[in-house]
Structure 1
Amino acid sequence: MAIKRAASRQFPFFWLPVAAGVVAIFLLLQTTTTVLDRLELRVQDGHFALRQAFRSERVQEGVSLTEQNPHISPDILLVGIDPSTLARFGRWPFPRSRHADLIDSFSRISNPDNRERALFLDLFFIEPSESAVDDALLLRSIQNSGRVFLETIVERSPPLQEHYREYFARHEALFQAAGAIRNVQGDWSRMPSFFGVQAPLQPYARAAGGYGHANIWDDHDGVLRRQPMIVRVSERLESYRLDQLMEDYGALSVDPDNFERLIWFDRAGNDHDLAIPLSEERLRALLNRLDADAPRLPVDTTGDGDFDSYTFLIHHHRDQFIPAITLSLALEYFNKTLEDVQIHLGESIVISEPQSFNPTSGTWEPYRIQVRPPVIDEEGQEVREGRYRLVEEIRIPIDHQGAMSINYMGPRSSPARDGEQTFPVRPYHGYAGRIPDADPGRWPATRAVENKIVMVGAFAQGMADDEKMTPYGLMYGVEVHANALNTILMDRFIHHLPGWGNTAILAGGTFLVALLAAWFSTIWAMAGTLAILGIFFFTTTIIFDLHSLVIAFASPALAMALVFVSVVVYRVTREERDKRRIRDVFGKYVSPAVVNEILQSPPELGGVDKELTVFFSDIRGFTTLSESLSPQELVNHLNLYLTAMTDTILEYQGTLDKYVGDEIMCFWGAPLPQEDHALLACKSALKQLQVLDRMNSEWPPEKRIQIGIGINSGIMTVGNMGSLGRMNYTLMGDNVNLGARLEGTNKEYATRVIISEHTYGLVRERIVARELDNIRVKGKNKPVVIYELIDVPEGLEPGSTVSGRS
């Protein structure tokens, strides 16, 4: 099938500025709005949806093995408080002694090397239990374990005044027990500020093996895609009245190196930092802003008990950095502490020389990641060896807010054994309901949790408000943490193509689609554009799955769609303009039916040689006629004649060339080919005589008109001739001149219509003609046989003789 090109000959590169304009629009949108970023998040969710958490491989006939996704750590184990657990232990919440049983079931393993690496309880112990005995039992179990990690929650609002010091004291207990983050580099003032914290009770905090916040940030659509690896919690040390501070600001000591700062709150509750060191000029400038935006503090300056003025409060805060619970668990797994990490806000969190524990040898070894797990058949034989990659450094990419993108590995796991599980899930009651007694001699050697990070949390609907929206739909909070932890353990971080790379793809795709839309038919251009978009989407999905690299898709895809529509609209607009121009030009020369055909297949510019039939007519005795009429009467009378003759020519689908005084020149066979061009010319000539005879019968003798007509057929040059500024669609050649000579020859033979032997040869079977003579006309050396056209026996109906397009 031939592909029809649709290029503009006059402006062959019009698509370039169109494409450049679209690229500029999208670059402007990227820098001034978040619309495209939000669309990219939805596309990224689509990449997640195409992943498979498990893979099946057929190794031999009748044997099908299930191979776990190699990007999922085998050392993450979920213990779910599932429906079967609720059915066994009763309604939630359980007494804390039940959690003590769970912890003891892991602590009471006779071989310490076969124990869990860490036990994370996605549960809150913020308030004392109704039973002091339960609290005592749980506290003892946590102390005996030494591997229990507890979580905190940070909040935007500060705690109530009566709880303020207690809540921050709890967190101070966590710092003292498990360490704190000190090495933070970068502009930490850009991090979101949290002024409240809910931490475990102080006894639990002092007994914990580790801690971390459980906050996960949702995006504009409520989907959890990021977890802050560190958060900033601001503890208020003191508050000052601005009027008093202005009097003695030099006595105030603020230590930025210890993450201290001065802040004020606007009426919306947003915090703002004060530039330090303080100066009178800065404080006076601040006063104007506070007066406009900050809540006022009424004061009594006279001491009479009535408020007669106002001032503002300035607060002295010290920031503390709390790690995510997943970061703390990862550090425990790597045999590192919070003091070992290097944090560069806006860049990365670096964990150097991570290690992993080998339960078989009981030693710490350089950390290796399983690239491909071994395949074991039903008989326990290794069908295929595993492959590993040595990791010398874990570099967690974070943004300026300290957040890491979570690389989700699959849909939510089912607590049922036969259900689909991205991460292995075991029931809570399987451990809490089988507790070894206190005699170490009766403890089991293992519980199949060697070196695993055990994560305990809700896995039943309605148990708590713990179902979160993720790219895979609703997922329990503990499994969201598992995906975040897996992202770190497997060094499987989500990276984004640099801005210049996405810009190059945006520009390249846009210009390519613009080229297709400009130079090919709309159908082929649309097919090519859809193919490009499809290939682009699946390529980005495959790259995301294999390398966790996010390539912007929404922006280039929308840009390609917009430039396709823009170029097509431009083409349609231009083609409509061209059609109007052609209609205006050729509508004066040819019939509407022929104009419509021309619009479907415009004529070639310049001259081409074609077999045509040319027609000339002229008034006999025009001078006598002009002398008998006034100039105005002559013009009006001549217009009536020319109108009637022209209408007849157009009725027979002829093309009017020009008027030369009272002479008419027209032709058939162009701009579109006509198979019976000679016959149409003959019919038109006879029809014009009939019309003229009817008009003469209605005119007085002095106004009657007699004409002579000459018709010739042959090869002639037809086309737009002249200059670029002014051109005429006309004929040239010897055969045109012969037609003009035949018109004048009517005077010598007293005839009305003479046709040449060339025309006669084309229509001899369909007309009645009388041979007149064999003459040599001026300018021609070879004699020409001429005929008088008398009649067309089949009738003078014009019919439809326009051929198909060429």
Structure 2
Amino acid sequence: MTSEQKSKRASLWSGLLGSVLLAALVMFIGRTGLLYDLELKTYDARFLVRGPMPVDHSDIVIVAIDDESFSTLPARWPFPRSYHARLIHNLLAAGARLIVYDVQFTEPSDPVEDSLLALATAEAHGNIIHAGKIAYYSDPRLNKVLTQALLPIQSLQDAGAKIGIVNYASDRDGFTRQYQLFAVHGNTNYVPISMKALQILDAMPDTVKMVHEKNVLLFGDRRIPLLTQSTMLINFYGPAATFQTVSFASVLDDQEFDLLKDDTDYMQWFLMSDEEFAVLEQILPPESVEAFRELRAENPFKDKIVFVGASAAELQDNKKTPFYTYAPPGEHSRNEETPGVEVHANALQTLLDGSFIGNVPPLIEFLVTFLLAALVFVINNSTRLLVGSLATFGLIVLFGISAVYLFIAQRLWIAMVVPILSTMTAYLGTTVYRFILEQKEKAMIRGMFSQYVPQKVVSELINNPDMLKLGGEKRRMTALFTDVAGFTSVSEKLTPEELVQLLNEYLSEMSKIVLDHEGIIDKYEGDLIMAEWGAPVYFENHAELACRAALH
């Protein structure tokens, strides 16, 4: 093995070792601080590229406590619990399969109002979920975090209501991307309202257990991929109002309840029996009969899972999700939060469809990061700067496209920031390293040859250092030998100082002539000068240049 091969092998191993260290360092940095925030933004961007997904198959409907409710209902917020009792009664009468409340009734109110709400809850026969919450607070005396279960009032529990919590798992930037699957208080696991809804819809017993299996949570027959020990990623189906949404006021608007304005008795068409509607058909004009018949057929609540929660900004239950900056085609981007109740709806739809988003394990992320860095090192050490730069740019683009494709087609989240940053760092490091080596090589060549080789040849050697290969080669070239006639006789008559001065003047002048004619000086030997043309840089007219130098 030649010294050049040994040097290349050592350089290769150094590059691979550097790639490992670089990948580990960038991964460590990427899991904290600004880089992780940036990774979360690339995660959001993948949702924006994918766009909303159809929910035509969904059985979820949202009843929103919205601005319309505030402007049309006679009472102010918080609404009397008799309003909620009427809402539950109307939804059940309209055929709702399951009612999921994202409004907490954890404190007693007027006893009559609480009684009405409990009676309506009992009508659901267990097909209603009321919301609670696990509160966290620190006790400085114990120096630990304590929990408190804030559950629905006892009368609702006694009426057969199921209980689900409405805790949120927000990321450090305030966005909601993951869903808390359970919270522990004492010896009890409390599940959120969407998990409780899944339990009811799958007819799981109340005694069903959650089992951790590596990075999966087993819940009945469901296998839920985990992001952390207690959370999963929500596969958001779109921005706010992706799921069919009906105003809270509209559900209250029946024949017995009057709104302040736009009182159309909207719910009455879904509450009346077929016999009652048949009587109306005899009275109404034929065109109206057909319209109301279609309205009844499109009953938005029949056999549906109805979520009830706030969407009005004043109630401060809206969340930033990956679709926060979404812009529909042809429209400008807008910052729109998603109601918290719709976040729960997205979580339940993810659970029902099994459309989970997987997270690439850290080991796979490290291997991808290392391979990209190593590939960039090899490419940029074996090609010219322009080719290496274009290859690196293409590699980054290809990886970015692949990451987006995996997210959209395979619902797989692979980190983008860490591998791309590692690739860019490897490129910059390799480029700087090559620049330093090339400068050293140029300085060495310039120092070795500048006194004996024309500047044109030196420049050519600097631009093409491979011309200086060991072992030699067979080539046609011209050599010139010159010396001083009668030098021995002349030198005997001069003192050493005079002889040195004579040689300096002679050799300097002769060297200038050789170099001016693009020759190189092979060696000096006393008064002898050996010069060459045609090596290491070949010229077609090497013989002519040598002859011109000899005749000068």
Structure-2-length-normalised TM-score? 0.80
Q: Pick the aligned partner of 2:121 from 122, 142, 157.
A: 142
The residue aligned with 2:61 is: 77
Tell me which of the two structures has the higher relative contact order, counting C-alpha pairs closer than 8 angstroms and 6 or more residues apart. Answer: 2
Aligned pair 1:24/2:4, yes or no? Answer: no
CA distance in 2 between counterparts of 1:616 and 1:140 reads: 120
Aligned residues of 2:23 and 2:370 also touching (Cα < 8 A): no
Shift of 1:37: 5.8
The residue aligned with 2:147 is: 195
Aligned residues of 1:405 and 1:494 also touching (Cα < 8 A): yes
**1:103 partner amino acid:** I
CA distance in 2 between counterparts of 1:553 and 1:411 reads: 23
**1:99 partner amino acid:** H
Q: Pick the aligned partner of 2:323 from 472, 496, 501.
A: 472
Secondary structure at the aligned position of 2:8 is classed as coil
Q: Pick the aligned partner of 1:554 from 392, 397, 417.
A: 417
Q: 1:338 and 1:514, CA in 2 relative to 1: closer, same or farther beyond 3 A?
A: farther
Shift of 1:595: 1.3
Aligned residues of 1:102 and 1:431 also touching (Cα < 8 A): yes
The residue aligned with 1:431 is: 251
Aligned residues of 1:230 and 1:323 also touching (Cα < 8 A): yes
Aligned residues of 1:15 and 1:567 also touching (Cα < 8 A): no
Aligned residues of 2:30 and 2:418 also touching (Cα < 8 A): no
Aligned residues of 1:617 and 1:665 also touching (Cα < 8 A): yes
CA distance in 1 between counterparts of 2:385 and 2:67 reads: 58
CA distance in 2 between counterparts of 1:395 and 1:332 reads: 16
Shift of 1:347: 4.5
Q: 1:513 and 1:546, CA in 2 relative to 1: closer, same or farther beyond 3 A?
A: same
Aligned pair 1:495/2:358, yes or no? Answer: yes
Q: Deviations over 1:59-99 (max 9, x none)?
A: xxxxxxxxx35xx7511111222333333226544333322
Aligned residues of 2:479 and 2:532 also touching (Cα < 8 A): yes
Shift of 1:458: 1.9
The residue aligned with 2:290 is: none
Regions of 4+ moved over 4 Å: 28-33, 36-40, 435-439
CA distance in 2 between counterparts of 1:548 and 1:232 reads: 29
The residue aligned with 1:451 is: 303
**1:582 partner amino acid:** I
**1:651 partner amino acid:** D
Q: 1:448 and 1:224, CA in 2 relative to 1: closer, same or farther beyond 3 A?
A: closer
Aligned residues of 1:23 and 1:559 also touching (Cα < 8 A): no
The residue aligned with 2:278 is: none
Aligned pair 1:213/2:165, yes or no? Answer: yes
Q: Deviations over 1:723-771 (max 9, x none)?
A: xxxxxxxxxxxxxxxxxxxxxxxxxxxxxxxxxxxxxxxxxxxxxxxxx
Shift of 1:21: 2.2
Q: 1:102 and 1:158, CA in 2 relative to 1: closer, same or farther beyond 3 A?
A: farther
CA distance in 1 between counterparts of 2:271 and 2:532 reads: 115
Secondary structure at the aligned position of 1:155 is classed as strand
Secondary structure at the aligned position of 1:533 is classed as helix
Q: 1:564 and 1:659, CA in 2 relative to 1: closer, same or farther beyond 3 A?
A: same
Residues paired across the two proteins, number: 494
Q: Deviations over 1:586-606 (max 9, x none)?
A: 212112233122211232524
**1:84 partner amino acid:** E
Aligned residues of 1:45 and 1:471 also touching (Cα < 8 A): yes
Aligned residues of 1:105 and 1:436 also touching (Cα < 8 A): no
Shift of 1:396: 1.9
Shift of 1:330: 1.0
The residue aligned with 1:344 is: 212
Aligned residues of 1:122 and 1:455 also touching (Cα < 8 A): yes
Aligned pair 1:88/2:72, yes or no? Answer: yes
Q: 1:105 and 1:12, CA in 2 relative to 1: closer, same or farther beyond 3 A?
A: same
Q: Pick the aligned partner of 1:656 from 506, 521, 532.
A: 521
Aligned residues of 2:23 and 2:373 also touching (Cα < 8 A): no
Q: Pick the aligned partner of 1:103 from 67, 75, 88.
A: 88
Shift of 1:662: 0.3
CA distance in 2 between counterparts of 1:560 and 1:323 reads: 42
Q: Pick the aligned partner of 2:344 from 481, 485, 494.
A: 481
Shift of 1:432: 1.6
The residue aligned with 2:386 is: 523
CA distance in 2 between counterparts of 1:10 and 1:345 reads: 49
The residue aligned with 1:510 is: 373
Kindly report which structure 2 residues correspond to 1:221-300, keeping only aligned pairs within 5 A, or say none: 221-234=173-186
**2:247 partner amino acid:** P
Structure 1 stretches of 5 or more lacking a match? 1-7, 55-67, 110-114, 160-191, 235-318, 353-392, 414-420, 688-806
CA distance in 1 between counterparts of 2:41 and 2:441 reads: 43
Greater share of helix residues, 1 or 2?
A: 2
Aligned residues of 1:225 and 1:405 also touching (Cα < 8 A): yes
CA distance in 2 between counterparts of 1:228 and 1:144 reads: 30
Aligned pair 1:43/2:70, yes or no? Answer: no
The residue aligned with 1:367 is: none
Greater share of strand residues, 1 or 2?
A: 1
Q: Which moved more, 1:580-589 or 1:641-650?
A: 641-650
CA distance in 2 between counterparts of 1:80 and 1:50 reads: 28
Aligned pair 1:536/2:399, yes or no? Answer: yes
The residue aligned with 1:623 is: 488
CA distance in 2 between counterparts of 1:207 and 1:193 reads: 33
**1:12 partner amino acid:** K
CA distance in 1 between counterparts of 2:116 and 2:179 reads: 33
Secondary structure at the aligned position of 1:470 is classed as coil
% identical equivalent positions: 30
The residue aligned with 1:325 is: 193
CA distance in 2 between counterparts of 1:195 and 1:517 reads: 56
Shift of 1:208: 5.2
CA distance in 1 between counterparts of 2:18 and 2:271 reads: 77
Aligned residues of 2:81 and 2:117 also touching (Cα < 8 A): yes
Aligned residues of 1:228 and 1:401 also touching (Cα < 8 A): no
CA distance in 2 between counterparts of 1:85 and 1:210 reads: 26
The residue aligned with 1:578 is: 441
Secondary structure at the aligned position of 2:207 is classed as helix
